[in-house]
Amino acid sequence: MSDKYDVIVIGAGPAGYVCAIKAAQLGLKTACIEKWKNAEGKGVNGGTCLNVGCIPSKALLDSSYKYHDIDHGLKKHGIAVKELGLDVPAMIQRKADIVKQLTNGISGLFKANGVTSLFGKGKLLAGKKVEYTDNDGNVKTLEAEHVVIATGSIPINIPVSPVDNETIIDSTGALELQAVPERLGVIGAGVIGLELGSVWNRLGSKVILLEALPDFLAMMDKGIAREAQKILTKQGLEIRLSCRVTGSKVMDNGGKKEVLVTYQDKEGKEQQVTFDKLIVCVGRRPYTEGLLAPDCGVNTDERGFIYVNDNCATNAPGVWAVGDVVRGPMLAHKGSEEGVMVAERIAGHKTQMNYDIIPNVIYTHPEVASVGKTEEQLKQAGEPYKAGSFPFVASGRALAADEGEGMVKMIAHAETDRILGCHIVGPSAADLVQQAAIAMEFGSSAEDIGMMVFGHPTLSEAVHEAALAVNNHAIHIPNKRKK
């Protein structure tokens, strides 16, 4: 094996493995280094997303929803089920099997595209050299024309609730629980907290989410956030806002461990609540520990993010960084597209990425999804806009599927009618919002969407009607009265 490459990628998560595959497809001799090990101690690709993030959490979300729907939703369909049972270990095993299938799939893609897969740790040295330590401890120095850093992120720990991987767990531990906790606490009501809280709420836990911020889903459109909070609360999630956790104490209660959480409520009063398990979901931070030699020439900020320009180039010539380790939202699809952009720029193309059109999704049920600007952002910027919305309760397809909660909200420029944003809470929101993203990429107007023919009956018709409503042309709901 030669130690010289055109491209070395450090990290084989969605940003890294996609970059490596694309670089190899473009004729560049490419190697990809990954430190992740599975439960058997074997090196595997896929990073956080495939191993303990996006994929396993969606597997559990899907399994838990099927269980909850059978238990609570089928009676109205005229379907009766006797002796419903729950096998949590089997559910966890199914999740593990899916992870194994997909991580093995990446190894197959590497072979098919000629990517050299290296398991171990990579450290960037000066002069585009990489110190590679394999999983047996052997060390060698690799050289490359270009190095791409894609080391991702890890959960943030907080001193007031130190993770012990038994009673106080992080998002990774929440994917491995072998039984349903009777009382489950979640610190943080963001994307990860809501998704994990939803899983165990559906399976029978009493779930309380403690969120320090005063606003629910502050990054989302406020109208959509309010609707989502109403729906999730009705499902049984107890969301306590403006609650700052000040301490956690693990105690033994007759041989059973539990955790006493102390927090300040929105009035500043001290409150306490006891849980069987506590999940800490207060965000993630870039993973750069031991990655950069002092003389490698790559700079980071005080939070550990690597400085890059609009095209993901660092200040060190020939060194790039993509994904969670750089600015912007920590989203797998954002990192993947950055990986493609960087590979193509290394190959000499002038590829650029449109950061204004990156969908964001929360995989609760119903899903919450958005792309583009919110009303609040446009108001703050002083940009003229108009908005239209359509409730799923007016969608024949949604009602037929017993999915009538939520709505689609479309926002367009008040003068040009160009679509500026789309925000959805409702069935298949993750897929529906992509229709708006495609339209936005091509500069479509709300009128353009309104003039298209949508299949009937489909959930997509809600996007069509929301676009019509922007200009007071909706058919299946009353339009706003003209002033």
Active site residue 464: no
Residue among 72, 146, 413, 456 flagged as catalytic: 456
CA–CA gap between residue 351 and residue 344 (Å, rounded): 6
Report the catalytic residues: 456
